[in-house]
A and B are shown apart, each in its own frame.
Chain A
Amino acid sequence: MVTFVQLLQNQPGLAMVTNGVIGALAVITVAYWLLRWFWPTQGLPKIGSRIAFLWMVTLFFVLGILYTYKILILYIWFIAFLALKEFFSMTPTRRADRRVLFCAYLSLPIQFIFILLEWRNAFLLFVPIHVFLVLPMVMVLIGEPRGFLRAWSTIGWSIITTVYSLGYLAYLLVLPVVAKPTVGGSGLFLFLVGLAQISHAAQFVFGKLFPDPRLSLKVSQTRNWASLLGSILVTAPVAWFVAPWLTPFTPSQATLMGVIVAAGAFVGYIILSAIKTDLQIKDRGTMMPGHGGILNRIDAFIYTAPLFFFLVGAWHY
Chain B
Amino acid sequence: MKILQALFFLLVVRPLVALVLGVKIRSGERLPMDGPAIIAANHNSHLDTLTLMSLWPLRRVHQVRPVAAADYFLTNAKLAWFSLNIMHIIPIDRQRKEKAADPLAGPSDALAKNEIIVLFPEGSRGEPEQLSRFKSGVARLVERNPEAPIIPVFMYGLGKALPRGDFLLVPFFVDVVIGEPIYWRGSVNDTMQTYEAAMRELAKQVEMPLWE
A98 located at the interface, meaning its Cβ lies under 8 Å from any Cβ of chain B in the complex: yes
Q: Are A85 and B24 in contact (CB under 8 A)?
A: no
Partner of A92, one of B171, B175, B210: B210
Please give, as numbers and ranges, the residues of chain B lying within 8 Å of A291 by CB-CB distance.
Answer: 24, 173, 207
B162-190 near A? 1/0 per residue, CB < 8 Å: 01001010111111000000000000000
Segment of A66-74, A99-107, A220-228, A242-250 engaged in the interface with chain B: A99-107
12 A/B residue pairs, CB under 8 Å, sorted by A: A85-B171, A91-B209, A92-B211, A93-B160, A95-B160, A95-B212, A98-B163, A98-B170, A99-B168, A105-B170, A281-B207, A290-B173
Q: In residues 23-81 of chain A, which contact B (Cβ within 8 Å)?
A: 81
Q: Are A290 and B168 in contact (CB under 8 A)?
A: no
Known: A102-B170, A291-B207. A94 touches B24 (CB 8 A): no
A311 located at the interface, meaning its Cβ lies under 8 Å from any Cβ of chain B in the complex: no
A299 located at the interface, meaning its Cβ lies under 8 Å from any Cβ of chain B in the complex: no
Shortest distance between the CB of B16 and any CB in chain A (Å) = 13
Please report the number of residue pairs spanning A and B whose Cβ atoms sit closer than 8 angstroms.
58
Please give, as numbers and ranges, the residues of chain A lying within 8 Å of B157 by CB-CB distance.
Answer: 89
Q: Are A85 and B168 in contact (CB under 8 A)?
A: no
B106-139 near A? 1/0 per residue, CB < 8 Å: 0000000000000000000000100000000000
Please give, as numbers and ranges, the residues of chain A lying within 8 Å of B209 by CB-CB distance.
Answer: 89-93, 279
Chain A residues bordering chain B, tally (CB within 8 A): 25
Shortest distance between the CB of B120 and any CB in chain A (Å) = 21
Closest A residue to B129 by CB, please name it: A95
Please give, as numbers and ranges, the residues of chain B lying within 8 Å of A217 by CB-CB distance.
Answer: none
Q: Are B210 and A290 in contact (CB under 8 A)?
A: no
Bound together, the chains give a CA A85 to CA B168 distance in angstroms of 16
Shortest distance between the CB of B22 and any CB in chain A (Å) = 6
Q: In residues 135-183 of chain A, which contact B (Cβ within 8 Å)?
A: 147
Shortest distance between the CB of B19 and any CB in chain A (Å) = 8
Please give, as numbers and ranges, the residues of chain A lying within 8 Å of B172 by CB-CB distance.
Answer: 85, 88-89
Q: Tell me the interface secondary structure of chain B in the complex.
A: loop
Q: In residues 254-295 of chain A, which contact B (Cβ within 8 Å)?
A: 279-281, 288-291
Shortest distance between the CB of A287 and any CB in chain B (Å) = 11
Q: Are A82 and B166 in contact (CB under 8 A)?
A: no
Q: Which bucket holds chain B's interface residue count? A: 10 to 19
A179-198 near B? 1/0 per residue, CB < 8 Å: 00000000000000000000
Bound together, the chains give a CA A95 to CA B24 distance in angstroms of 22
Q: In residues 82-130 of chain A, which contact B (Cβ within 8 Å)?
A: 82, 85-86, 88-95, 98-99, 101-102, 105
Please give, as numbers and ranges, the residues of chain A lying within 8 Å of B163 by CB-CB distance.
Answer: 95, 98
Known: A95-B212, A290-B22. A89 touches B173 (CB 8 A): yes
Shortest distance between the CB of B17 and any CB in chain A (Å) = 13
Complex A-B, nearest 4 residue pairs according to Cβ-Cβ distance, in ascending order:
A290-B173, A92-B210, A89-B173, A92-B209
Please give, as numbers and ranges, the residues of chain B lying within 8 Å of A94 by CB-CB distance.
Answer: 211-212
Bound together, the chains give a CA A89 to CA B170 distance in angstroms of 11
Please give, as numbers and ranges, the residues of chain A lying within 8 Å of B171 by CB-CB distance.
Answer: 81, 85, 88, 105
Please give, as numbers and ranges, the residues of chain A lying within 8 Å of B24 by CB-CB distance.
Answer: 288-291
Most B CB within 10 A of own CB, among A92, A105, A147, A290:
A290
Other contacts beyond A85-B172, A92-B212, A279-B209: 20, CB < 8 A: A81-B171, A85-B22, A85-B173, A88-B171, A89-B157, A94-B212, A95-B128, A95-B211, A95-B212, A98-B160, A98-B166, A102-B168, A105-B170, A147-B212, A281-B207, A289-B24, A290-B24, A290-B173, A290-B174, A291-B173
Please give, as numbers and ranges, the residues of chain A lying within 8 Å of B168 by CB-CB distance.
Answer: 98-99, 102
Closest B residue to A85 by CB, please name it: B171
Known: A93-B160, A288-B24. A86 touches B207 (CB 8 A): no
Shortest distance between the CB of A77 and any CB in chain B (Å) = 12
Please give, as numbers and ranges, the residues of chain B lying within 8 Å of A290 by CB-CB distance.
Answer: 22, 24, 173-175
Shortest distance between the CB of B44 and any CB in chain A (Å) = 12
Shortest distance between the CB of A155 and any CB in chain B (Å) = 12
Closest A residue to B26 by CB, please name it: A288
Shortest distance between the CB of B208 and any CB in chain A (Å) = 10
Closest B residue to A292 by CB, please name it: B207
Q: Are B22 and A289 in contact (CB under 8 A)?
A: yes
